[in-house]
C-alpha cells in the first residue's frame, strides 16, 4: 500500500485543472498495469513536466496535484475515448490519438493502452517539491516512483505541505468542497488505512470475508448520505471522516460455536483503531468505533460492549 508520484504532461493536467475535473482517466501508452504496491484508495501524485526548478542534473519536477486510485483497465484508444472522452485530458479524439502516438515507442497508435481511473482529484496553487520534505528524486525518472517505500509518512507530509500551498482557486470554484477540509480528509483517510494495514495480520477464510463484506456493504448502501467509505486497503471495515472526527465501523458475524471468539476479535480490533487514532497527530477530533451486525445481541452483551467503548448497531 503506497502512493506514487507519476511523471505527467503538464498540458494534460492543465486541461483537467481548467475544466475542474474531479475525476479523470490517467492513461499510459503501455498495455499493462503492473504496480507491485499500488491499490484502490492509494494516491497518484502528478509530477509535472515544465515545473522544474534548479539547474543541470539537479533540476527537480514539482507535484501539482493528486487523485485517488479507483481501478485500472486495459482499453483500446477508441474505447478509452468513448468511455472517458474529455476526461482523458484532451478536447478532441484526434488530439488524444495524436498524443498517444507521440508517446508510444514506435510513434504509432497502439492496440491497447492502460487506464487508471482517478477520483477526488485536487490541484495545488503552486508546485510542491519532494526535496522540501527530504525526499531526493532523480531528474531521470521517466515514469513513477513509490513515495512511501523508504518513509511511510511521505504521503502525509506532502498533504501537510499542501495545506500551506492551498488548492488551486480556479478548480476549487467548480466544486462545493471546502479548501481547508480537503487535505485534512486525505490525511485522515491515509492514517486510517495505515492503521488498518497494521492491524490486518489475521487470515480469514473466503467464506468469512464474504459474510463480513455483505454486512458492511449493506450498511454502506443504507447510510449512503453519511460520508461512509471502505477503509483504504480493507474489504470489510468502513470509515466516516469529517472535520469533527473519525468513525470506524467493523462488521460482526458469528455462529453459536464461535460467538465469543468473534465478538472479542471485533472489540479488540475496534479498540485498537481507537487507541492508535487518538495518539496520532493527524487524526484530530472525536474518535468513535462501531460494531455493525445483522444479529440480535443480548442486552447484557450490548451493554458490556458499549461500556468498553464500542457502539453497537444492529441492522
In three state form, how does the secondary structure of the chain look?
A: CCCEEEEECHHHHHHHHHCCCCCEEEEECCCCCCCCCCCCCCEEEEEEEEEEECCHHHCEEEEEEEEEEEEEEEECHHHHHHHHHHHHCCCCHHHHHHHHHHHCCCCCCCCCEEEEEEEEEEEEEEEECHHHHCCCCCCCCCCEEECCCCCCCHHHHHHHHHHHHCECHHHHCCCCCCHHHHHHHHHHHHHHHHHHHHHCCCCCCHHHHHHHHHHHHHHHHHCCCCCEEECCCCCCCEEEEECCEEEEEEEECCCCCCHHHHHHHHHHHHHHHHHHHHHCCCCCCEEEEEEEECCCCCHHHHHHHHHCCEEEEEC
Positive/negative CA dihedral, 16, 21, 145, 31: negative
| 105 and 165 both lie in a single domain | yes
User: What confidence category does residue 28 fall into, taking pLDDT thresholds of 50, 70 and 90?
Assistant: confident
277: left (phi over 0), alpha (psi -120 to 50) or beta: alpha
Both 209 and 299 in a single domain?
A: yes
Confidence at residue 203, expressed as pLDDT on a 0 to 100 scale: 73
pLDDT, residue 44, reads: 95
Picking from 121, 143, 177, the residue at the C-terminal end of a domain is 177
- Residues 13 and 160 reside in one and the same domain: yes
Question: How high does pLDDT run on average in the chain?
Answer: 87
Residues 255 and 158 in one domain: no
Q: pTM for the complete prediction?
A: 0.84
pLDDT digits (tens, 9 = 90+) for 271-301: 999 999 999 988 888 999 999 998 888 888 8
pLDDT bucket at 171, cuts 50 / 70 / 90: low
pLDDT at 174 over 60: no
Number of domains the chain is built from: 2
Q: Is residue 16 part of a domain?
A: yes
Residues 212 and 101 in one domain: no
pLDDT per residue as tens digits for the range 65-104: 999 999 999 999 999 999 999 999 999 999 999 999 988 8
Distance CA 64, CA 18 (A): 13
What are the grid coordinates assigned to 304, written together? 458490556
Tell me if 190 is assigned to some domain.
Answer: no
A 10 A CB-CB count for 222 gives 11
Do residue 16 and residue 160 come from a single domain?
yes
b/e map 168-186, b = 16+ CB within 10 Å: beebbeeeeeeeeebbbbb
Same domain, 158 and 214: no
Query: What average pLDDT does the segment 51-65 reach?
Result: 81
> Do residue 128 and residue 268 come from a single domain?
no
**Does the pLDDT at position 33 exceed 80?**
no
288 with 167, same domain: the answer is no
Is position 183 within any domain?
Answer: no
In our burial notation (b when 16+ CB lie closer than 10 A, e otherwise), range 274-288 reads bebbeebebbbeebb
Grid coordinates belonging to 148: 512511501
Residues 135 and 201 in one domain: no
Could you report the per-residue pLDDT of 110-153, keeping only the tens digit for each? 899 999 999 999 999 999 998 888 888 777 777 888 888 777 78
**Residue range 201-214: mean pLDDT, rounded:** 83
The C-alpha cell at 182 is 480537503
- CB within 8 Å of 259: residues ≥ 6 apart: none
pLDDT for the residue 201: 59
- Residue 53, domain extent: 4-177
How high is the pLDDT of residue 80? 95
Of 113, 146, 177, the one marking the end of a domain is 177
pLDDT at 228 over 60: yes
Do 59 and 22 sit in the same domain of this protein? yes
For residue 11, what is the domain's CATH number? 2.30.130.30
Amino acid at each position: 500500500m503506497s502512493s506514487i508520484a507519476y511523471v505527467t504532461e503538464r498540458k494534460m493536467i492543465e486541461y483537467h485543472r481548467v475544466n475542474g475535473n474531479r475525476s479523470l482517466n490517467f492513461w499510459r501508452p503501455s498495455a499493462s498495469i503492473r504496480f507491485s504496491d499500488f491499490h484502490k484508495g492509494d494516491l497518484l501524485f502528478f509530477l509535472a513536466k515544465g515545473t522544474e526548478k534548479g539547474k543541470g542534473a539537479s533540476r527537480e519536477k514539482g507535484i501539482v496535484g493528486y487523485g485517488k486510485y479507483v481501478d485500472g483497465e486495459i482499453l483500446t484508444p477508441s474505447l478509452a475515448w468513448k468511455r472517458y472522452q474529455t476526461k482523458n485530458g484532451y478536447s478532441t479524439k484526434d488530439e488524444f490519438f495524436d498524443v498517444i502516438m507521440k508517446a508510444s515507442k514506435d510513434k504509432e497508435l497502439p492496440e491497447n493502452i492502460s487506464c487508471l481511473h482517478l477520483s477526488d482529484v485536487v490541484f495545488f496553487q503552486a508546485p510542491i517539491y519532494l526535496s522540501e520534505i527530504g525526499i531526493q528524486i532523480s531528474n531521470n525518472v521517466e515514469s513513477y516512483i513509490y513515495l512511501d517505500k523508504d518513509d511511510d509518512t511521505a504521503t502525509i507530509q506532502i498533504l501537510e505541505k499542501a495545506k500551506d500551498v492551498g488548492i488551486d482557486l480556479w478548480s476549487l470554484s467548480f466544486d462545493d468542497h471546502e479548501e481547508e477540509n480537503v487535505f485534512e480528509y486525505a490525511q485522515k483517510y491515509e492514517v486510517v488505512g495505515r492503521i488498518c494495514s497494521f492491524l490486518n495480520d489475521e487470515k480469514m477464510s473466503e467464506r468469512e470475508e464474504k459474510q463480513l463484506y455483505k454486512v458492511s456493504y449493506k450498511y454502506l448502501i443504507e447510510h449512503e448520505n453519511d460520508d461512509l467509505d471502505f477503509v483504504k486497503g480493507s474489504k470489510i471495515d468502513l470509515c466516516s471522516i469529517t472535520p469533527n472526527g473519525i468513525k470506524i465501523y467493523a462488521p460482526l458475524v458469528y455462529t453459536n460455536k464461535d460467538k465469543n471468539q468473534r465478538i472479542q476479535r471485533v472489540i479488540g480490533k475496534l479498540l485498537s483503531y481507537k487507541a492508535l487514532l487518538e495518539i496520532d497527530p493527524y487524526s484530530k477530533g472525536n474518535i468513535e468505533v462501531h460494531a455493525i451486525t445483522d444479529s440480535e445481541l443480548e442486552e447484557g452483551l450490548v451493554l458490556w460492549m458499549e461500556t468498553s467503548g464500542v457502539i453497537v448497531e444492529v441492522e
